[in-house]
Structure 1
Amino acid sequence: MNREKRTEIFRRLRAQRPHPTTELNYDTPFELLVAVVLSAQATDVGVNKATDRLFPVANTPEAILALGVDGLKEYIKTIGLFNSKANNVIKLCEQLLAFHGGEVPRDRAALEALPGVGRKTANVVLNTAFGEPTIAVDTHIFRVSNRTRIAPGKNVNEVEQRLLRVVPEEFKRDCHHWLILHGRYTCVARKPKCGECIIADLCEFPRSQRPT
């Protein structure tokens, strides 16, 4: 796929969603960090249901530590893997207080050193909370990037690195959100909605494989 085609794809995605953002509910970088940690192998809708109950009660490291592991589990037990996630969030809060004054660091290495935080989570926080032009590749973005041929790769790291190379600078900050929302609602896994896709004529997904 050439630069001109990619540029037009992102122009259309930007026109469709001029101000894209995460569908996780949050008000502070800390709330976002906790929500993203909880969202692993879970839906944003499911996480929001839990955090809509949790955050009014505890939305700082100190307040969550005061709940303790068992108290936190009561709020997030509807989310998959809640036992390990509760342990990670508690340890994460301890480290934020011990090493970062209770604040979420604006640094990749510091974020990835926190329990339960990998590269994807760090990218989401850096992008969404701090406006960095990072690109967090999840299953939706991996699928869209490969299916459209915007940035094909064998694994999430390959796709991330290619996106960082080929996405024009003006689109990098919002690229993550445009691709994830496109994958969530249009370029879905089992039967992509090619008939209502705004970039169908630019997409390099073989027409013989497109649903009729």
Structure 2
Amino acid sequence: MNQSKRKQILQRLRDDNPHPTTELNYSSPFELLIAVILSAQATDVGVNKATDKLFPVANTPEAILALGVDGLKEYIKTIGLFNAKAENVIKTCHILVNQHGSAVPESREALEALPGVGRKTANVVLNTAFGWPTIAVDTHIFRVSNRTGLAPGKNVLEVENKLLKVVPAEFKVDVHHWLILHGRYVCVARKPRCGACLIEDLCEFRDKTET
């Protein structure tokens, strides 16, 4: 795909949604961090149902530590892998209190040192909480980038690096939200809704559908 076509795709996505953001509910960097940790192999809807009850009760590292592992599990037990996630959240809260003054660090290295936080989670927090031009490649972004031809790659790191290379600076802060939402609602896995896609004519996917 040439750069002119890439820019047209991103311009259309921006025109359609000028101020995209995550579908996870949060009101602070800490709430976002916890929500993203809980969202691994879970839906945003499922995480929101749990955090909508958890955060009014405990939305600081100290408050979650006061719940303890068992207390936290009661709030997140509807989420997949909740046992491991509860352990990771408690360990993360200890580190935040003891090493970062209870604040979420604005540092990739420090974020990736937290239990339950990998590169993707760190990218989401840096982008959404702090406005960094990072791109968190999940299954949706990986699929859309390869299917459309926007930034093909064999694995998530290849796609991330390709996107960082080819996406113009003016789009970098928001591109990961546009691509996630596009993959979640239009360019879905089994049968993409090509007939309802605003970039269909620019997309290089060969097996387009009419729906």
| TM-score, normalised by the number of residues in structure 1 | 0.99
> What value does the CA root-mean-square deviation take over the aligned residues?
0.4
Displacement, 1:211? 2.0
1:112-153 deviations in whole A, cap 9, x for unaligned?
Answer: 000000000000000000000000000000000000010000
Q: What is the number of equivalent residue pairs in this alignment?
A: 210
Paired residue type of 2:120: K
Paired residue type of 1:192: P
User: Which residue does 1:78 correspond to in 2?
Assistant: 78
- Tell me which stretches of 4 or more aligned residues in structure 1 moved more than 2 Å: none
User: Which residue does 1:67 correspond to in 2?
Assistant: 67
1:182 and 2:144 matched: no
User: Which residue does 2:17 correspond to in 1?
Assistant: 17
Displacement, 1:26? 0.1
User: Which residue does 1:131 correspond to in 2?
Assistant: 131
1:210 and 2:187 matched: no
Displacement, 1:102? 0.3
Paired residue type of 2:208: R
Displacement, 1:155? 0.3
Whole-Å separation in 1 of the counterparts to 2:66 and 2:80: 23
What does 1:27-176 align with in structure 2 at a 5 Å threshold? 27-176=27-176
| TM-score, normalised by the number of residues in structure 2 | 0.99
What does 1:186-201 align with in structure 2 at a 5 Å threshold? 186-201=186-201
Displacement, 1:101? 0.4
SS in 2 for 1:173: coil
SS in 1 for 2:50: helix
Whole-Å separation in 1 of the counterparts to 2:169 and 2:96: 32
Paired residue type of 1:211: T
Whole-Å separation in 2 of the counterparts to 1:67 and 1:99: 20
Which segments of 5 or more consecutive residues in structure 1 lack a partner in the other structure?
none
